[in-house]
A and B are shown apart, each in its own frame.
Chain A
Amino acid sequence: MDQTEITHSEITRAETELSVIKKIMEDSRNIVADNGWHYIFWGVMVTCGLIANYIMALSKVNINYQGMMWFILMISAWIVEGIIERRKAKKRKVRTFAGKMLSSLWFAAGISMFMFGFVGTITHAYNAVYICPIISTLLGATYIISGAIQQVKWMQLLSIGWWSGAIYNFLFPSIHTLIIFAGMMIFLQTLPGIILYMKWKKNPVSTY
């Protein structure tokens, strides 16, 4: 075996190499830059649905039609999301594990919201007025995890807003719950989405 002595310079070189490797790995692993598109898209869609639902409820439109409106809106939104996401995925320069986790998290949250919104009410498991606070609670949990993955602390803090709104809407359920939830959608989802978009515009790194 060709054995030689390790010099101090070789040890220094090994240390430098390890620290460079560590830095590259950390930088690459943390790329989950989000351009905020999803937040804006879903925020606008749900806000429109809530306002339409509020008007329908005030006009005493049959609850089945209100459900139908939501079903059509949500299915259309999923289709549009699917098409756009497919196109974006092809253009992505890098796919990270954090990005995969984020996609899985929001996909799971979306399916859960669908279950709470449609299956829960169709089966009369609970009154439809509680859909908003249930979904707010779920969004609070999703935002705190999403913020942790994206390393955006202020996004995690939005969970407090979602949970506070949920408590209020659980305690004081009324027809106005819809409009309160619409306000939450604007301030806790659409506006943060716009902030993310503006940040991304300034520094457009590859999205996950």
Chain B
Amino acid sequence: MTDFNYQEIDDVIHSRIRTAIMAVLISVDEAEFTFIREKINATDGNLSAHLKKLEDHNYISVKKEFIERKPVTRYKITETGIKAFEDYIKKLESIIRK
């Protein structure tokens, strides 16, 4: 067992759903709400709340539009989000290495 600083863990990403959302969005160019929901098996309300949190921290950007009169919401990871996710992965790797 070794020392570890919990303050270094990014709380915004450190949640199962938000980590999964970030993993999906970092792998694609952009994705619709329904696609993310299918990928991570979350309910609409739960997913919306987590997406909002990531959006508030500027980790993801949102684009809303109407296609054939139906509302479509697309999400894309931002540069800040990419950096934060990479740091988060490094942190997890460092836990394993210790």
Q: Is A29 located at the chain interface by the 8 A CB criterion? A: yes
Residues of A within 8 A of B1 (CB): 5-8
Per-position 1/0 for A72-108, Cβ under 8 A of B: 0000000000000000001111111101100000000
A28-B27 in contact (CB<8A): yes
A1-28 interface (Cβ within 8 A of B): 1-8, 10-11, 14-15, 17-18, 20-21, 24-28
Residues of B within 8 A of A11 (CB): 95-96, 98
Residues of chain B at interface, number, CB under 8 A: 29
| A15, closest chain B residue (CB) | B96
The answer for the CA separation of A18 and B7 in the assembled complex, in Å, is 19
The answer for the CA separation of A204 and B54 in the assembled complex, in Å, is 30
Q: Is A31 located at the chain interface by the 8 A CB criterion? A: yes
Q: Is A206 located at the chain interface by the 8 A CB criterion? A: yes
A4-B4 in contact (CB<8A): yes
B35-A2 in contact (CB<8A): no
Residues of B within 8 A of A26 (CB): 27
Q: Is B34 located at the chain interface by the 8 A CB criterion? A: yes
Partner of A21, one of B2, B30, B34, B89: B89
Q: Is B55 located at the chain interface by the 8 A CB criterion? A: no
B28-A100 in contact (CB<8A): no
A1-B28 in contact (CB<8A): no
Q: Which 4 residue pairs of A and B lie closest in terms of their CB atoms, listed nearest first?
A: A28-B27, A24-B23, A95-B29, A93-B35
A to B CB contacts below 8 Å, 21 in the list: A3-B5, A4-B3, A4-B4, A4-B6, A6-B1, A6-B2, A6-B3, A14-B92, A14-B95, A18-B92, A18-B96, A21-B89, A24-B20, A24-B24, A26-B27, A28-B27, A28-B31, A91-B67, A96-B28, A97-B29, A206-B35
B contact set with A: CB distance below 8 Å: 1-7, 19-20, 23-24, 26-32, 34-35, 39-40, 67, 89, 92-93, 95-96, 98
